[in-house]
Structure 1
Amino acid sequence: MKIGNSPDGSAAPAKAEARPAARKPEASGANDIVRTATSAKPEPSAQVAISATAQMAASAAGADDGSFDTAKVQRISQAISEGKFTVNARAIADKLVANAQELLDARANKH
């Protein structure tokens, strides 16, 4: 069965047909109401609280793990802009295979 076809064989109306016609404002005040309604910020639908344990874990993980080296980023950026940066395809492939193996091992250990 194709998407949009009902089982009884009747065709579903096209999107343009299903949409109601847009209304035009009747008075100059209607434009102000529309602008106010669309620019108003909606109330949040949920509130999230992070536990003290999660906050400690997050701060410990980002403390001194060395995951971001500003000097290295600057060197790579400079090499790229000078056209001297070369991509080591073998290193990338090795890392991808290692990451895939880790994921497969983790998945196997869950089951």
Structure 2
Amino acid sequence: MWIQIPVAVLLVVGGLFSLIGAIGMVRFPDFYMRLHAPTKATTLGVGGIVFASFIFGFGNGDFAARELMIMAFLFVTAPVSANLIAKAGLHLRVQAKAEPPEELPHH
């Protein structure tokens, strides 16, 4: 029982983050906002699900480093790929629909 509760909580939280990332990808109006939603929310979502798998395996006596390797790979590659996709969008001059921020007054 002490393993099932944290695993269930991590699965639900991970699923919610993944769902929020997917909804954001569909609902956001432009390329850069759509890039932000899945890279942030889905990383946390998949991370929560993989961590739940790690806890479940550890609780059943199956300590395997594969979940830790998946999480490390995910947390290293997601920001790098998002950065490269954003740079490609800037290089191709993809227009953003969001208004640029106002200039801050100089004090």
Per the TM superposition, whether the score is higher than 0.5 is no
Flag the structure with more relative contact order, 1 or 2, with Cα contacts below 8 A and sequence separation at least 6. Answer: 2
TM-score bracket for this pair, using the shorter chain length: under 0.3
Q: Flag the structure with larger Rg.
A: 1
Q: TM-score, normalised by structure 1?
A: 0.24
